[in-house]
Structure 1
Amino acid sequence: MAIQYPPRERLANVPTPLQPLNRITEKYSTPYGGPQLWIKRDDLTESAMSGNKLRKLEFIVAEAKALGCDTLITCGGEQSNHCRATALAAAKTGLRAHLILRGKALFGSDELPADGNLLVDHLAGAAVSVYPLREYVEQLPALFEYWAEHYRQLGGKALCIPTGGSDGLGIWGYIKCAEEVLADCAALNFVPEHLVCASGSGGTQAGLTLGCQLLGVASAVTGYAVCDDADYFVNKIVADVADWRQRYGQTFGFDKSKIQVTDSFIGPGYALAGPEIYRTIAEAAQLEGILLDPVYTGKAFHGLLEDVRNGKYRGSNHLVFVHTGGQFGVFPHRAEFMQYLDGL
């Protein structure tokens, strides 16, 4: 079916490249009867490597402008890729950004200096409010309302964006990506049996899953959870699709049974990684020149390689890993990398 998209602010350099991972395929997939591995380079969407978040923000920024908003308020962890991308997208389009972060770091603090994404947030001119974990979790809706009211009192208007830009609006970004990656594959004369991504807020997987169904292809979409369990992501994807249907009057019959989530590789918790993740990231860099991150893509890619070796994808011909970006998240983990890379 022909997909009718809502207004979109052009921010990303798309289409992003689709590249074969020949050396990793030879080492990890071919010996186990697995597929040719490919990578969709959504880390190259532009705006300081804003990755998958930029596709969602194209539709979010267009909505903000249509509603007469002058400020984007969003939330996430101290090293949130989405918050950094929002700060940069706001700067590029003449909007203000206000980031509600959970963590401890303060810009310029000698004890906990801003690093990685947090540093970029400040460089982009975003207002940053950092809250302790418990206050953030228990009061997030109230914090959104507080800051939205703050900008109303200043005569402005804010659009509040959920974690990861993942809702019925942001989902459009990865519906469009599903269409793009399938066109990439068609140009190379194949249909991928599998599309794989990291799932952190669920929006990327929701868009890819819905997009494949809208386009009538049998490609299975699997999300590798980096936090929360499989049931959480299934419910989140169902909720995002329901929000999409309600917002845009869609009657498409989404098949919930096709949502596939693997939650076996989360490790110690969100933004926490074990030595196997750091080693996988290093190996991807050394074999393919691809840089992954310890929070999202490194965990998902490690899980994918483990499942390939265990025969999960045996008999498939082609698998595409969607690289959702996040390289700035590497740098706050410098000590762990140096600890675990000896002997590689």
Structure 2
Amino acid sequence: MRLFLTMIPDKLDLAQLPTPLQFLSRLSAELKGPRIWVKRDDLTGCATSGNKVRKLEFVLAQAIAESADTLLTCGGLQSNHCRATAVLGAQLGLKVHLILRGVPPEQLPDGNLLLASLTGAEISCYPLSQYQHLKELFDYWLDFYRGRGHKPFIIPTGASDGIGVWGYLHCVNELAGQFSEQGINPGAIICATGSGGTQAGLTLGCHLSRLNIPVIGFAVCDDAVYFHGKIRDDIGDWQKRYGISVDTEQLNIQVNDRYMGPSYGRATPEIFSTIRHMATLEGLILDPVYTAKAFYGLIQEIKAGTFQDVSDIVFVHTGGLFGLYAQHDKLGLSINSSAAGFIA
């Protein structure tokens, strides 16, 4: 792996690295299975927290190298990626234009949409019927900005392409050092898979470094067939861009699509129950779009005995805290206040 890290292209130092590994002692005891560790990539920053920052360190470096002054990217109304791009764009002095899927709320924005609005990002919202023509939307806005003398740079959904792959190639090197230092012997690395780039980088990184650790992505939207293709496409783009040859047939791509729920961004009561349980048990905050779906799936697989011969499992927490705010009404919470014993 060190050989490949010497080939890393330009990157920006935007994330707070390395992120820690947290041992979930109470959950591990409760499940009576392997030791469960969490790679806290939700701590890569503050308003820029989450897995997207690792990818954007490389993607935004490329944008600057191409003298771009405007970033064009896309996602859902509560996209973690779009929020991170908006905040980092403001930090770097770049204009950001977000192409968002969905109808904007009538009330004041919440969660990721609030933060993206706060940074001054230009936001264009499209219903699904129009968003499905994403290429045409990008072409329109590219022409719009070029016609006004700007140099726009397109960032794909989730910053998941051959450039973004470097973010989690770099993370694998970080993880390998932590495994050695802390005596962790993972039988699997788990992540939520939404745009495929994080799993592509982790899978490729484990392959190149010969860690022999399977990376299992828990799909949060599309099925396993789609993600097998998307991950190979991202890695193929990486090879083409940087002239590095990899036998992709040897890649161990594993996707579990049994816990995605009704659709992207929609979660079942079991997912919200998992969020409440993990917050109470371990002080670990998950989100209903990505991490809680994957974590719920992991728990169910442990209970089913899937990992009975495994000593350690590492779950990559990809962030998503701000998206939780937009669905707080589904958590079933109430405040129980007591002032007993107070004397005026």
Structure 2 length as normaliser, TM-score?
0.94
Instruction: Report if the CA contact (8 A) 1:193-1:220 is conserved.
Output: yes
Quote the Cα distance in structure 2 between the aligned partners of 1:63 and 1:248. 13
Look up the match of 1:245: 239
Quote the Cα distance in structure 1 between the aligned partners of 2:326 and 2:142. 31
CA positional deviation for 1:197: 0.2
Look up the match of 1:7: 10
Quote the Cα distance in structure 2 between the aligned partners of 1:191 and 1:240. 28
Which of 256, 270, 281 is residue 275 of structure 2 equivalent to? 281
Quote the Cα distance in structure 2 between the aligned partners of 1:257 and 1:184. 23
Instruction: Report if the CA contact (8 A) 2:203-2:251 is conserved.
Output: no
Counterpart mapping for 1:1-344 below 5 A: 1=1, 2-3=3-4, 4-28=7-31, 30=32, 34-105=33-104, 111-137=106-132, 139-255=133-249, 258-338=252-332
CA positional deviation for 1:21: 0.6
Quote the Cα distance in structure 2 between the aligned partners of 1:340 and 1:27. 26
Quote the Cα distance in structure 1 between the aligned partners of 2:251 and 2:233. 14
Gaps of 5+ in 1: none
Instruction: Report if the CA contact (8 A) 1:47-1:88 is conserved.
Output: no
Instruction: Report if the CA contact (8 A) 1:164-1:201 is conserved.
Output: yes
SS at match of 2:314: strand
Quote the Cα distance in structure 2 between the aligned partners of 1:185 and 1:305. 22
SS at match of 1:180: helix
SS at match of 1:244: helix
Instruction: Report if the CA contact (8 A) 1:205-1:223 is conserved.
Output: yes
Instruction: Report if the CA contact (8 A) 2:207-2:251 is conserved.
Output: no
Quote the Cα distance in structure 1 between the aligned partners of 2:242 and 2:236. 10
The amino acid that maps onto 1:16 is T
Instruction: Report if the CA contact (8 A) 1:52-1:204 is conserved.
Output: yes
| Matched-pair identity in % | 50
Quote the Cα distance in structure 1 between the aligned partners of 2:249 and 2:47. 36
CA deviation vs aligned residue, 1:79-125 (integer Å, no higher than 9, x gap): 0000000001111111111000011115xxxx343111001111011
Instruction: Please say which of residues 245-254 and 58-67 is displaced more in the overlay.
Output: 245-254
**Cα 1:88/1:11, change in 2 over 3 Å:** same
Quote the Cα distance in structure 1 between the aligned partners of 2:56 and 2:273. 32
Quote the Cα distance in structure 2 between the aligned partners of 1:254 and 1:286. 42
Instruction: Report if the CA contact (8 A) 1:12-1:47 is conserved.
Output: no
Instruction: Report if the CA contact (8 A) 1:182-1:191 is conserved.
Output: no
The amino acid that maps onto 2:91 is K
Quote the Cα distance in structure 2 between the aligned partners of 1:191 and 1:96. 44
Quote the Cα distance in structure 1 between the aligned partners of 2:311 and 2:108. 47
Instruction: Report if the CA contact (8 A) 1:208-1:221 is conserved.
Output: yes
Look up the match of 2:340: none
CA deviation vs aligned residue, 1:241-279 (integer Å, no higher than 9, x gap): 000000110112234551000000011111001100000
Quote the Cα distance in structure 1 between the aligned partners of 2:131 and 2:164. 22
Instruction: Report if the CA contact (8 A) 2:48-2:83 is conserved.
Output: no
Quote the Cα distance in structure 2 between the aligned partners of 1:114 and 1:232. 32
CA positional deviation for 1:156: 1.1
CA deviation vs aligned residue, 1:39-70 (integer Å, no higher than 9, x gap): 00000000415200000000011000101101
Runs of 4+ off more than 4 Å: 339-342
The amino acid that maps onto 1:252 is V
CA positional deviation for 1:26: 0.7
Instruction: Please say which of residues 249-258 and 163-172 is displaced more in the overlay.
Output: 249-258
Instruction: Please say which of residues 203-212 and 149-158 is displaced more in the overlay.
Output: 149-158
Structure 1 length as normaliser, TM-score?
0.94
Q: CA RMSD in A?
A: 1.5
Quote the Cα distance in structure 2 between the aligned partners of 1:150 and 1:164. 23
CA positional deviation for 1:181: 1.2
Give 1 or 2 for the bigger CA radius of gyration.
2
The amino acid that maps onto 1:293 is D
Quote the Cα distance in structure 2 between the aligned partners of 1:225 and 1:341. 34
**Cα 1:72/1:215, change in 2 over 3 Å:** same
**Cα 1:341/1:185, change in 2 over 3 Å:** farther
The amino acid that maps onto 1:133 is L
